[in-house]
Amino acid sequence: MSTPMPDAVLVPHGEGHDGGLSSEVGGGAPGAPPASSRAEDARRRRWVLARRVAGRVLGAIFVLWAAASFTFFVQTLLPGSRATLLLNESSGQQKNYTAAELAPINHEYGFSKPVLTQYVDYIGGLVHGNFGTSYEQHQPVLSIISREVGPTLVLTLTSLLLAWVMALLFTIATAKRGRVVSAIGSGLEIVTAGLPYYWLGVILLVVFAIDLDVFPVQGGTSLSGLVLPALTLGIPLAGFIGQVTRDEFEKVLEQPFVTSARARGMGDLEVRLRHVLRHAVLPAITLSGWALGALISGAVIVETVFARPGIGQVIVTAAESRDVPLVSGVVMLVATVYVVANLLVDIAYTLIDPRLRAR
Amino acid sequence: MSIHHSPGAGDLLRVENLRVSFGDHEHQRSVVKGVSFSLAPGKCLAIVGESGSGKSVTARTLVGLTGGRSHVWADRLEFDGRGLLGLSDRQWRAIRGKDIGFILQDALVSLDQLRPVGKEIEEALRLHGWGTRASRHERAVELLELVGVPEPEVRARQRPYELSGGLRQRALIASALSLDPKLVIADEPTTALDVTVQAQVLDQLEATKRRGKALILISHDLAVVSRLADTVAVMSDGEILEYGPARELFNRPKHEYTQALIDAIPSAESRGARLSPVSRRVALGQSKPFQRSATPVLQAEQLTKRFRGPDGVHRTVVDEVSFTLEQGETLGIVGESGSGKTTTARLALALAEPDGGEVRLAGERWTGLPERGRRERRRQITVVYQDPLSSFDPRWSVEQVLLDSLSRDEHPSAPRRRARIRELLELVGLEQEHLTRRPLQLSGGQRQRVAIARALGPEPRVIVCDEPVSALDVSIQAQVLDLLSDLQSELGVSYLFISHDLGVIHHISDRVLVMSEGKVVEHGSADDVLIRPQHPYTQSLVASLPALERPAAAEYTPAPVPAPRSKPAIPVPVA
Amino acid sequence: MSSISSAPPLGPAVARPLSLPRWLARLRPGVILAGLVIAFFAVAVIVPSLLAADNPLSINLAATLQAPSLHHILGTDASGRDLYSRVIYGARQSVLIGLGATALSMAIAIALGGLAGLAGGFVDAIINRGIEVLFAFPVLLLALLFVAVFGPSATTEIIAVGLGTAPGYARMIRGQVLAVRDSGYVESARALGHPYHRIVRRHIFPNAMRPLVVIMTLGVAQSIVWAAGLAFLGLGVPPPASEWGALLDAGRDFVTQAWWLEVMPGLAIVLLALSITTIGRYIQQQLEGGIAR
């Protein structure tokens, strides 16, 4: 849901800050240097870019490793013996076992090995794509996930698309159009951004599926069954993207280059679409990595509300039955998605950052 | 409103009794209160005034861009025989860019950073249905060539930040000229630009005028417009106070406001004279003037500083800069943006450590020490910034700001501190009532006075002034410059004065340092350097300086001004 | 519903001749409404019996699944319990869990964000990476992980939600601290020769913490929503708790027949969350009154 995302990103890349003193803005760029050194410049720039990209990739790998370590660490905090837990869960009873009864479990899952070895095994396994084995289903976590994740991905991506479309249309239409309209628009965004999925979903379900019968109550994986869940996920995200974009949009509308465009005879709508939009979406795009992660986790709730197949029910039942490997497998998967998505956005931004191209 | 001007028959533009107000029914704010002027093709009208005078709004009425909550009336608002009142947005769009071109200031923000300049130039063509994509591109390249951009094909594909300041501005001008409009309006075309770039812009505008276009220049800078203007309108508070042929207006201004504006311009001629008519009581009280000493109060030797830019390249921002500053004198550092003058100031303040060389304060080492070793002595050197507002804690009142600058040791008791604050207020010309206000509630000039008062609090020997007047209106600038001169003669404090404005530097400095690309290219006494420059860079700077064009001294009889206050000799040691 | 005649949460107006204090004069109807809602639920948390006559646990099999009516304002559930009473009595647990999670979240966020912003350099880089790592775990999934490991309980909810929401706020606070640290007035203070600890105390801390009111209220609203969400999935405090999320969970099976069982508790959550953020924003505006930025 909408954890308010801060100014995550647009920190200038290591400029010397000048505080209050008038800064040396690079207004005095030299004229065109001779052709040969221009080629050198280009080569140097490419090298710097490559280094930056490599840096980002390394950073992402570090984050993934740290996330995996954290997940492992949490697992070790399990109170009591894991083998006991496993047996109790599968048998539905609550009792203690003798060491002999626990031994085969311990052996099978490696609980008897020293913690450090388990850790290395775990990390090693992750690198090879082994996310562990489910306690309950006795299958590799990865195969369980890959079986069930399809509908969730469909839902997530559709919601993301929907959210963007709604947010952009709304912002373009209502940004800076008089005090009343802007206030209403902004207020609406604030309200929708904070709506819990479980509540919005139920309202939509009751109104559109039960009362009005427009959409099926239990849609399964059909297209018509996709609409309400996608809206449930998409509307709050749209509210959030809208907030961020609107702020930027209104700021950009004040910029002199917009006046220049108007002074050339450009109409208002065209100004918004052709000039302002590109500038205004930058902050929201950088949040896409986070948005994807948040959507997947929100999908868990939405799938429960609409009884929709997907990874949601997998992870909920897993949590209920204390199936730690499965839950942590999903968590690691989502973390990976988040890190990779962020990395791609980051790299893209690094490549198009005008300040890098300047000299 | 009672300005007499006689519109001619061949006039392209006729404005009579133009009124503009903002706001809705309850709160109407009148911004332009009855303004009239006219303009013939091939002529230039300059509308001059300080901020808030309404000059920009007036210009925008001519393209219908005054904004959503504005109301525009006039007895007559005609362009090329067509009435401009009550036009719909669609009708305006047909005129903008095609018949009337509009140029804003500073191309860095007036052009879309994310698009190639060629596309920006083509935009007007496209909007008015001109040509095909290919022919539009050709025309854009032609236009770039017209305004003197070398390699126009290459440049057309580049984005504004990839071009130098001068080329950017030319591209901006080109984008306004693309459809050959009959009237070109330039709103503050030279503000915030380097002097050399300013000169290039004015050249281009002059060329435009020569091609038979009518030109309207909006500026607060009289010197800038004096080169091009045929007629000048001086605006203040929404009204035109004086209107007439440029030559007459500059030589024999009829209105005292115009006279005051002209007098307020700092330059070579105004050295030693007061710029503003405001005088101020002097209170010496607790502060004692400094004695002249044998050692210079500030010495810099071979200062060097390198920075790593975002693209990984090491740039030498300050390159072996040396200077000395004696007690009681002003050393001006002048240079364009990127010259390293601001960084030099920071090194002098020891807010940054040099990579090479050192600074000595009153003979003792200043840089290269741990902060502990300096903290005590920081009171000897203070700073006044260009934008005082960002240098004040937003929660603090003026009183808190000033209290902060007083040291516990020198003013241990509350009554002593209050007395000192009162003294500081008097020194800078503020009143007691200002103490409880927040800086946000004060005007630009008042804020700068507070900043100066704060800089004086610790009784410093040197004050580093980093573009202290660049953001102020001419008349306020004059007052602040006068204030700084007064303080120097009363207290004997030295100034390290940084500015890009040659006129200001020439007016206030005893000696001058000219910087370019991190190096000192020339230094010497102010007159030597700025009247008889030796180095080609200095020469080009001085040559680009727009001077208020006046005829020889014989023809010119100045209006009575208060007797010029000569710069005092070295202060006599006070017992 | 009983009418509340308690004083508005902002206290009685200060008696000043001829002019209202600014914060009172700027009250908008939305803010007043938000204040009333908060007051209402505050009473529900502290003295629920004041607002709800019926015992929330009393089963009445004769009146199961009744739609909202004058007798049962929000209807009844499958065991005939009055939903309104359950909502009122459930407020305490939900709000307390939310407050607990927020306290934890803020403590972490201020510690990390403040340290990172102030220390700079290596420490900042490390902490920043740490925040990145926490960000990789969406709140809900982190909570599910905790539940899988520790089993469902109030404590688990508090820790999970607290940890999960912390990185967002940590980043916000870090951003604030950095902005202040690089500001002109901090540099001015340095130039005047003030020692660093004095600058931190007098400038950096007060200015960086200024948006804290909004952040905290946002946090409380968020935490209440998340905690209820967790319970909705059946992983919160075990029944028969009246905690709002638990009500949502229980009502899940009856969506088609008795929509009020799902919608009403959710409405309470939404109303409370919205009111809290509205008041938070309002207070922030008043604090910012004469401040530049």
Size of interface B-C (CB pairs under 8 A): 60
* CB A20, CB A299: distance < 8 Å: no
User: What are the structural domains, with CATH classification, of chain C?
Assistant: 84-292 (1.10.3720.10)
Q: Phi/psi class of residue B240: alpha, beta or left (left: φ > 0; alpha: ψ in -120 to 50)?
A: beta
C291 vs B contacts (CB less than 8 Å): 394-395, 438, 440
* CB A192, CB A236: distance < 8 Å: yes
In B211-309, alpha helices (H): 222-226, 246-251, 256-263
pLDDT of C139 strictly over 80: yes
DSSP string over B296-319? -SEEEEEEEEEEE-TTS-EEEEEE
Establish if B488 touches chain C: CB-CB under 8 angstroms: no
Closest CA to C81 of C66, C97, C103, C101: C66
What pLDDT is attached to residue B166? 86
Q: Which of A69, A199, A300 to mutate to test the interface with C (most CBs of C within 10 A)?
A: A199
What pLDDT is attached to residue C4? 33
For C149-207, how does the pLDDT look when each residue is reduced to its tens digit (9 = 90+)? 888 888 888 998 899 899 989 998 998 899 999 889 999 999 998 988 899 999 998 88
What pLDDT is attached to residue B236? 92
Residue A14 neighbours by CB under 8 Å, 6+ apart:
B308, B310
How far A208 CA sits from the closest chain C CA (Å)? 12
Residue in C148, C151, C228 nearest the CB of A318: C148
Using a CB cutoff of 8 Å and minimum separation of 24, what contacts does A149-152 make?
A149/A310, A149/A311, A149/A333, A150/A310, A151/A221, A151/A303, A151/A308, A151/A309, A151/A310, A152/A296, A152/A299, A152/A303, A152/A310, A152/A311, A152/A312
How far C238 CA sits from the closest chain A CA (Å)? 12
Question: Residue for token digits 């799902």?
Answer: C262
Query: Helices (H) and strands (E) in chain A — how many of each?
Result: 16, 0
pLDDT of A23 strictly over 60: no
Neighbours of B436 (CB within 10 A): 11
**Spatial separation of the C-alpha atoms in residues B15 and A298, rounded to whole Å:** 62
Q: Which of C33, C137, C260 to mutate to test the interface with A (most CBs of A within 10 A)?
A: C137
pLDDT confidence tier of residue A271, bands split at 50, 70 and 90: very high
**Spatial separation of the C-alpha atoms in residues C188 and C178, rounded to whole Å:** 16
* CB B466, CB A22: distance < 8 Å: yes
Task: Kindly report the average pLDDT of chain A as a whole number.
Answer: 79
Q: φ and ψ at B14, to 5 degrees?
A: -135, 120
**Spatial separation of the C-alpha atoms in residues B249 and A174, rounded to whole Å:** 48
Higher per-residue pLDDT: C189 or A35: C189
Residue in A29, A279, A357 nearest the CB of B164: A29
pLDDT of A22 strictly over 50: no
Task: Compare all CA atoms of chain C with the CA of B390 and give the residue at the minimum distance.
Answer: C184
**Spatial separation of the C-alpha atoms in residues B105 and A256, rounded to whole Å:** 8
What pLDDT is attached to residue C242? 63
A320 vs C contacts (CB less than 8 Å): 147, 234-235
Judged by DSSP in three states, C161 sits in helix
Q: What is the mean pLDDT of residues A278-289?
A: 83
In B384-517, alpha helices (H): 398-405, 414-428, 444-456, 474-491, 502-508
C229·A1 Cβ contact <8 A: yes
pLDDT of C46 strictly over 60: yes
Q: Phi/psi class of residue A279: alpha, beta or left (left: φ > 0; alpha: ψ in -120 to 50)?
A: alpha
C184·B383 Cβ contact <8 A: no
C136·A338 Cβ contact <8 A: yes
A290 vs C contacts (CB less than 8 Å): 135
Question: Residue for token digits 């102010």?
Answer: B526
Establish if B345 touches chain A: CB-CB under 8 angstroms: yes
Pick the most confident of A6-10, B231-235, B280-284, C33-37. B231-235
**Spatial separation of the C-alpha atoms in residues B286 and B424, rounded to whole Å:** 10
* Low-confidence stretches of chain B (pLDDT beneath 70): 1-9, 278-292, 310-312, 549-575
Residues 415-454 on B with a CB inside 8 Å of C are 438-441, 454
C187·A297 Cβ contact <8 A: no
**Spatial separation of the C-alpha atoms in residues B54 and A265, rounded to whole Å:** 23
What pLDDT is attached to residue B49? 92
List subunits contacting chain A, requiring 3 or more Cβ pairs under 8 Å. B, C
C132 vs A contacts (CB less than 8 Å): 59, 63
C292 vs B contacts (CB less than 8 Å): 389, 392, 394, 438-440
Establish if B395 touches chain C: CB-CB under 8 angstroms: yes
Kind plus residue range of the DSSP H or E element containing B321: strand B314-325
How far C160 CA sits from the closest chain B CA (Å)? 37
Neighbours of C115 (CB within 10 A): 18
For A227-241, how does the pLDDT look when each residue is reduced to its tens digit (9 = 90+)? 889 999 999 999 989
Residue in B385, B404, B440 nearest the CB of C184: B385
Q: Which amino acid is at B325?
A: L
Interface ipTM > 0.95: no
What pLDDT is attached to residue B278? 65
Q: Which of C192, C194, C200 to mutate to test the interface with B (most CBs of B within 10 A)?
A: C192
Establish if C136 touches chain B: CB-CB under 8 angstroms: no
Establish if B394 touches chain C: CB-CB under 8 angstroms: yes
CA dihedral of B186, B187, B189, B192, whole degrees rounded to 10? -170
Q: Which of B61, B117, B123, B334 to mutate to test the interface with A (most CBs of A within 10 A)?
A: B123
What pLDDT is attached to residue B449? 94
Q: Which amino acid is at B3?
A: I
Residue in A296, A304, A327 nearest the CB of C148: A327
Higher per-residue pLDDT: A129 or A60: A60
C292·B439 Cβ contact <8 A: yes
Q: In the CATH scheme, what architecture does the domain B298-544 have?
A: 3-Layer(aba) Sandwich (3.40)
For B108-118, how does the pLDDT look when each residue is reduced to its tens digit (9 = 90+)? 889 998 899 99
Q: What is the mean pLDDT of residues C71-96?
A: 82
For A95-148, how does the pLDDT look when each residue is reduced to its tens digit (9 = 90+)? 777 777 777 777 777 777 778 888 888 888 888 877 777 777 778 888 888 888
How far C284 CA sits from the closest chain B CA (Å)? 14
What pLDDT is attached to residue A148? 87
Q: Which of B391, B406, B462, B465 to mutate to test the interface with C (most CBs of C within 10 A)?
A: B391
Among the ranges given (A345-359, B240-254, C78-92), the one the predictor scored with the smallest mean pLDDT: A345-359
Question: What CA–CA distances, in Å, run from B474 to B263, B453, B478?
Answer: 10, 21, 6
- The domain limits of chain B are 298-544
B379·C207 Cβ contact <8 A: no
Closest CA to B376 of B410, B352, B403, B344: B410
- Cα C171 to chain centroid distance, Å, stands at 18
C191·B383 Cβ contact <8 A: yes
Residue in A21, A25, A45 nearest the CB of B385: A21
Question: Residue for token digits 């604050």?
Answer: B421
C187 vs B contacts (CB less than 8 Å): 351, 391
Within a 13 Å sphere around the CA of A156, how many CA atoms are in the beta-carbon half? 26
How far A46 CA sits from the closest chain C CA (Å)? 25
pLDDT of C8 strictly over 50: no
**Spatial separation of the C-alpha atoms in residues C126 and C119, rounded to whole Å:** 11
pLDDT of A27 strictly over 50: no
C129·A63 Cβ contact <8 A: yes
Residue A187 neighbours by CB under 8 Å, 6+ apart:
none
Residue in B395, B404, B458 nearest the CB of C207: B395
Q: What is the mean pLDDT of residues C267-288?
A: 87
Question: How many residues are present in chain A?
Answer: 359
Token pair recorded at residue B494: 């030295």
What is the sign, positive or negative, of the torsion defined by CA atoms of A298, A301, A305, A306?
A: positive
Establish if A61 touches chain C: CB-CB under 8 angstroms: no
B392 vs C contacts (CB less than 8 Å): 184-185, 188, 292
Q: Which of A37, A251, A264, A271 to mutate to test the interface with B (most CBs of B within 10 A)?
A: A264
